[in-house]
């Protein structure tokens, strides 16, 4: 039986088999990577442009809020000062000097008032540098004067005079009509050497009886907005400009002025009439695409093309609470980001060509040497990759492959040993890292606690020394005055008796003596002297009591246990904090309720214990300060009681309390709910450590939201009872 001959298989030279697939793969991979890189680059450019415009919009919006909130804050301050009677609007000399001082502190262009009587005064910085003073009376002509000022705010010379009428100026009339703080329309003033473009923050002002006195006006220069936009990051790559809803150009990051002259008068320039073709083109596209500037109510993004160049454009509405309604427009040219992508494309093409040539050469070269030994090596490598490490390469007739086989076999043996050693090292390293991590965490925690305690101790020690020094310096002169008051009282009584005796013996006085006696009103003097001496005695007694409390509180650096009167320390602390317990504008006075039991002398560190009491009371006062004003009085209750061998001190407030989520952390170091700058988070942590570690006691917190907070301190009456 004959077998059919096998069909011949078309074969190829080994060089082509190695060169073509390898070269095509490299060329295709590099080309595909280049294409995907180009597409991803375009997407990245779009995302990057959006992020840049979002960040710039946020930055400009924040600057506008910061820059334009200051005038209304100043207006509020001045209106309050006038209504409270701190500033007399009729005294234009004093008011002008006050506004001059404010101009030193704030970056505004004008601070002034216009009164219903037609008069007014204001400090101005029309050129952005020099402060002048405008002062005008009620009736023209020549009733408005501009004065130059020296470095003390004194008027030196008259710079200009003109006719002036408050009631014809929009910065005066608009806030009066509105009856509330608003921005005036943007207005311009022409000077020979400059243009003044500003908007005014106006607020009506009233006297104590709520009668209208006029209005206060604070100007901000809009030219400074252009200066800020030019300094923004996007100004080097694109443009930022601000528009009114009418389409008027307010500010831009370029160097084109946002105004033009019409019949010699400066007027705001419409964006659609701008000489800048980019601004003009974007304004036209906004009108065509969004049917006008008024229709934009949220952030909009679109693409704009001019002379073959594409731009990314973002429009963001910006408003404030006083009537401003602007549009922030940001544009970034696509070429800013595409230049690098084009360069990368050229590099990719070059790499494709180089890779193709290199692949062909390498395939041709290696095809001469790579034959069956490479297959054996490949099989052994695949087996090793599958985890079969017991592999060996047989010798080859090619010397290079013999060396490769020896190296491969040696590598296999070393790899087996390395895997075993690596596993052991990993286990040991994980254990050591875990142990060292725990040690470092413990060490760091102890260092933080120690550092905070040292700082707090030094602060309280310095406070104690300062208080003791102040008490000593006050005590000596007060004791001298107090000791001499009794002598002064006796001397006064003697003089009064002598005068009364003289009047009885000589009822018919000389006319001059009688006239002098009536002029001096002797009976009133005698009665008033006694009252003055009594008041002086009460005042010195009060000062001596305060000094005694300060001296008691200054024992913060005493380092040994002492048996002390806990009530005395509490009262000293309350006296020192008396100014915080008094009534304020935002809340009534805090009522202190004392429920003292009969406590014996308690062994403790007096200074440290006083520190704990002060921390708890200060926190209670802070909580009551944050509570909104209600009909319920603010109360601080201090209760002391003896519980066996223990003294118990409870300090409670009827403040807002604290949530359950916060209570577990109040004694943790550096935990605080207060704003930055008002607390370090170490007060309660140190207080807890002083009570529990120094005094072997307990410090517990009980709080219910809406009902208040209570801290309970328990310490042994005698420390030896605890040690025993």
205-218 confidence digits (pLDDT tens): 999 999 999 999 99
The answer to whether residue 125 sits within a structural domain is yes
Residue 608 has pLDDT above 50, yes or no: yes
* 680 or 221, which is more confident: 221
Shared domain check, 455 and 360? no
Cα 92 to Cα 1, 32, 89, 136, 140: the distances in Å are 132, 79, 6, 9, 17
Of 558, 657, 651, the closest CA to residue 613 belongs to 651
**Percentage of the chain with pLDDT > 70?**
73
Of 69, 70, 89, the closest CA to residue 79 belongs to 89
Report the pLDDT averaged over residues 162-173. Answer: 88
Of 271, 269, 307, the closest CA to residue 286 belongs to 271
Report the pLDDT averaged over residues 229-253. Answer: 80
Please tell me the total number of residues recorded for the chain in this structure. 724
CA angle 595, 600, 605 (to 5 degrees): 95
* 553 or 710, which is more confident: 710
Shared domain check, 344 and 282? no
Report the pLDDT averaged over residues 96-100. Answer: 94
What is the tens place of the pLDDT at every residue in 558-597? 556 788 999 988 988 888 888 888 888 778 888 999 999 9
**Contact status, residue 701 vs residue 467, Cβ threshold 8 Å:** no
Contacts of 121 (CB under 8 A, 6+ apart): 92, 95, 96, 99, 112, 113, 133, 134, 135, 136
CA angle 384, 385, 389 (to 5 degrees): 25
Residue 4 has pLDDT above 80, yes or no: no
Cα atoms in the 13 Å half-sphere on the side-chain side of 7: 2
Shared domain check, 691 and 630? yes
Q: Which residues span the domain enclosing 151?
A: 87-221
Q: Based on the number of CB atoms within 10 Å of its own CB, is 384 exposed (0-12), middle (13-18) or buried (19 or more)?
A: middle
Shared domain check, 244 and 215? no
Shared domain check, 717 and 697? yes
Residue 460 has pLDDT above 60, yes or no: no
Packing angle, helices 522-553 and 511-520, rounded to 10: 40
The answer to whether residue 567 sits within a structural domain is yes
Query: Where among 319, 349, 369 does a domain terminate?
Result: 369
The answer to whether residue 715 sits within a structural domain is yes
What is the tens place of the pLDDT at every residue in 478-515? 666 766 667 677 777 777 777 777 777 776 667 777 77
**Cα(565)–Cα(548) distance, integer angstroms:** 14
Q: Is 111 helix (H, G, I), strand (E, B) or coil?
A: strand
Shared domain check, 704 and 572? yes
What pLDDT score does 622 carry?
A: 87
Q: Predicted confidence band at 1 (pLDDT cuts at 50, 70, 90)?
A: very low
Residue 10: left if φ>0, alpha if ψ -120 to 50, beta else—which one? beta
**Percentage of the chain with pLDDT > 90?**
23
Full-model pTM: 0.46
Residue written as token pair 């006796």? 490
Q: Which structure tokens are listed for 645?
A: 């061998």
Shared domain check, 670 and 567? yes
The number of domains in the chain is: 5
* 114 or 513, which is more confident: 114
Report the pLDDT averaged over residues 79-84. Answer: 94
The answer to whether residue 413 sits within a structural domain is no
Shared domain check, 515 and 583? no
Shared domain check, 538 and 439? yes
Report the pLDDT averaged over residues 417-442. Answer: 79
The answer to whether residue 681 sits within a structural domain is yes
**Contact status, residue 115 vs residue 213, Cβ threshold 8 Å:** yes
Shared domain check, 310 and 217? no
What pLDDT score does 3 carry?
A: 46
CATH of the domain at 587: 3.30.565.10
Shared domain check, 616 and 507? no
Query: Where among 532, 550, 568 does a domain terminate?
Result: 550
Report the pLDDT averaged over residues 404-417. Answer: 76
Residue 242 has pLDDT above 70, yes or no: yes
Q: Predicted confidence band at 157 (pLDDT cuts at 50, 70, 90)?
A: very high
What pLDDT score does 650 carry?
A: 95
Shared domain check, 460 and 517? yes
What is the rounded average pLDDT for all residues in the chain? 79
Backbone angles phi, psi at 511, to 5 degrees: -55, -35
What pLDDT score does 2 carry?
A: 44
What pLDDT score does 642 carry?
A: 93
The answer to whether residue 493 sits within a structural domain is yes
Residue 74 has pLDDT above 70, yes or no: yes
Cα atoms in the 13 Å half-sphere on the side-chain side of 672: 15
The answer to whether residue 474 sits within a structural domain is yes
The answer to whether residue 501 sits within a structural domain is yes
CATH of the domain at 161: 3.30.450.20
Q: Predicted confidence band at 88 (pLDDT cuts at 50, 70, 90)?
A: very high
What pLDDT score does 648 carry?
A: 95
């Amino acid at each position: 039986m004959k077998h059919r001959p096998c069909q011949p298989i078309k074969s190829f030279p080994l060089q082509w088999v190695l060169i073509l697939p390898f070269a095509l793969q490299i060329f295709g991979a590099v080309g595909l990577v280049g294409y995907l890189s180009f597409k991803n680059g375009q997407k990245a450019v779009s995302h990057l442009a959006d992020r840049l415009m979002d960040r710039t919009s946020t930055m400009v919006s924040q600057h506008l809020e910061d820059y334009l909130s200051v005038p209304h804050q100043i207006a509020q301050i001045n209106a309050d000062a006038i209504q409270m009677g701190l500033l007399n609007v009729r005294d234009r000399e004093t008011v002008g000097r006050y506004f001059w001082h404010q101009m030193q502190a704030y970056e505004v262009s004008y601070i002034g008032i216009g009164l219903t009587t037609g008069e007014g005064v204001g400090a101005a910085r029309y050129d952005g540098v020099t402060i002048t003073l405008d002062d005008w009376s009620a009736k023209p002509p020549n009733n408005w004067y501009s004065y130059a000022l020296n470095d003390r705010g004194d008027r030196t010379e008259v710079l200009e005079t003109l006719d002036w009428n408050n009631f014809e100026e929009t910065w005066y009339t608009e806030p009066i009509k509105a009856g509330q703080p608003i921005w005036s329309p943007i207005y311009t003033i022409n000077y020979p050497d400059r243009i003044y473009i500003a908007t005014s923050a106006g607020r009506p002002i009233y006297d104590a009886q709520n009668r209208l006195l006029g209005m206060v006006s604070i100007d901000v220069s809009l030219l400074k907005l252009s200066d800020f936009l030019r300094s923004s990051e996007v100004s080097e790559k694109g443009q930022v400009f601000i528009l009114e809803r009418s389409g008027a150009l307010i500010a831009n990051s370029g160097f084109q002025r946002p105004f033009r002259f019409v019949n010699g008068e400066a007027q705001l320039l419409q964006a659609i009439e701008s000489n800048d073709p980019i601004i003009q083109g974007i304004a036209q596209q906004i009108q065509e695409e969004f049917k006008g500037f008024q229709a934009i109510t949220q952030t909009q993004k679109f693409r704009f093309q001019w002379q073959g160049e594409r731009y990314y454009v973002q429009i963001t509405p910006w408003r404030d609470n006083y009537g401003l309604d602007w549009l922030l427009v940001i544009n970034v040219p696509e070429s800013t980001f595409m230049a690098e992508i084009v360069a990368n494309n050229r590099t990719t093409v070059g790499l494709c060509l180089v890779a193709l040539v290199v692949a062909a050469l390498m395939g041709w070269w290696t095809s001469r040497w790579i034959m069956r030994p490479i297959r054996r090596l490949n099989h052994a490598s695949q087996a090793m990759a599958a985890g079969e490490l017991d592999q060996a390469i047989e010798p080859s007739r090619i010397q290079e492959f013999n060396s490769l086989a020896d190296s491969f076999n040696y590598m296999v043996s070393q790899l087996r040993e390395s895997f075993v050693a690596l596993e052991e090292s990993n286990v040991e390293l994980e254990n050591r890292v875990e142990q060292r991590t725990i040690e470092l965490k413990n060490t760091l925690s102890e260092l933080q606690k120690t550092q905070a305690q040292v700082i707090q101790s030094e602060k309280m020690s310095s406070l104690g020394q300062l208080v003791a020094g102040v008490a000593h310096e006050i005590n000596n002169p007060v004791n001298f005055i107090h000791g001499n008051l009794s002598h002064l009282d006796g001397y006064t009584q003697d003089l009064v008796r002598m005068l009364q005796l003289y009047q009885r013996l000589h009822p018919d006085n000389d006319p001059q003596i009688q006239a002098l006696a009536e002029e001096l009103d002797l009976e009133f003097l005698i009665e008033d002297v006694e009252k003055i001496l009594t008041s002086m005695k009460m005042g010195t007694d009060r000062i001596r009591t305060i000094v005694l409390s300060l001296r008691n509180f200054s024992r913060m650096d005493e380092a040994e246990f002492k048996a002390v009167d806990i009530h005395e320390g509490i009262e000293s602390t309350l006296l020192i904090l008396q100014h915080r317990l008094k009534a304020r504008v935002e809340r009534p006075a805090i009522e202190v309720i004392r429920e003292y039991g009969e406590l014996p002398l308690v062994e403790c560190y007096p200074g440290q214990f006083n520190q704990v009491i002060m921390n708890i009371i200060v926190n209670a006062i802070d909580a009551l300060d944050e509570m909104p004003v209600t009909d319920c009085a603010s109360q601080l209750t201090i209760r002391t009681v003896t519980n066996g061998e223990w003294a118990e001190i409870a300090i409670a407030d009827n403040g807002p309390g604290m949530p359950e989520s916060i209570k577990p952390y109040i004694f943790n170091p550096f935990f605080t709910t207060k704003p930055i700058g008002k607390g370090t988070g170490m007060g309660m942590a140190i207080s807890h450590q002083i009570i529990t570690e120094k005094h072997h006691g307990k410090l517990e917190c009980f709080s219910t939201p809406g009902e208040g907070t209570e801290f309970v301190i328990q310490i042994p009456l005698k420390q030896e009872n605890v040690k025993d």
